[in-house]
């Protein structure tokens, strides 16, 4: 897909992490993207390395974390292509928090039209990111961005029915 084509499509942004609810958010975003002619963008946030005194060690840790992020996103690409017919956009961002990364990414890309999150499956509230957005608002550089929050324990059949 060319850059012009990718910027003309509506992007559904999903934060790629290792939480159990991520699967539901990704499946929902894929199904919505397919049904509305959009595509999926996956954001992987890497926390900064803490080794200020040993820059060589810090650089090696950051290189390894980036490599791991790329491997994760590549492994998810097949699922996204199978669901939507289009490859996902990969966004890897170094930031102190997911919220900080989200603000920067959304402010920089007006094609991102919807943020898709899923609630926690652990049963202890909606999850930290959903709770933070509910409490403090979205606040993405003055942009109004819809946030779709899906239950993290939705089955594939339930997602199909909703999307």
44 versus 120: the higher-pLDDT residue is 44
Q: Position of tokens 């997911």? A: 98
Of 106 and 54, the one with more pLDDT = 106
The pLDDT of residue 74 is above 80:
yes
Q: Which of 28-32, 49-53, 111-115 has the lowest mean pLDDT?
A: 49-53
pLDDT the model gives residue 49: 64
Q: Give me the phi and psi of 104, to 5 degrees please.
A: -65, -45
Assess whether pLDDT exceeds 60 at residue 4. Answer: no
The pLDDT of 69-90, averaged and rounded, is 94
- Chain CA centroid to CA 78, Å: 16
Give the pTM. 0.84
Give per-residue pLDDT as tens, 45-72: 998 766 556 667 777 888 889 899 999 8
> What pLDDT score was predicted for residue 55?
65
22-26, 123-127, 137-141, 148-152 — which is least confidently predicted? Answer: 137-141
CB count, 10 Å around CB of 21? 23
Would you state the pLDDT for residue 2?
Answer: 40
Residue 97: phi and psi, rounded to 5, are -150, 160
For 153-162, the pLDDT digits (tens) are 888 899 988 8
Residue 116 three-state SS = strand
């Amino acid at each position: 897909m060319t850059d012009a084509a990718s910027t003309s499509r509506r992007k559904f942004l999903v934060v790629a992490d290792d939480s159990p609810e991520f699967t539901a958010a990704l499946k929902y975003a894929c199904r919505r993207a397919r049904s509305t002619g959009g595509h999926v963008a996956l954001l992987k946030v890497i926390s900064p390395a803490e080794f200020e005194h040993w820059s060589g060690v810090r650089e090696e840790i950051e290189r390894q974390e980036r490599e791991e992020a790329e491997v994760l996103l590549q492994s998810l690409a097949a699922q996204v292509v199978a669901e939507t017919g289009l490859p996902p956009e990969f966004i890897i961002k170094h930031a102190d928090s997911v919220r900080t990364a989200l603000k920067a990414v959304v402010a920089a890309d007006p094609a991102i039209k919807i943020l898709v999150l899923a609630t926690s499956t652990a049963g202890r509230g909606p999850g930290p990111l959903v709770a933070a957005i509910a409490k403090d608002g979205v606040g993405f550089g003055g942009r109004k961005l819809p946030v779709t929050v899906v239950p993290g324990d939705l089955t594939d059949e339930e997602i199909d029915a909703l999307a």
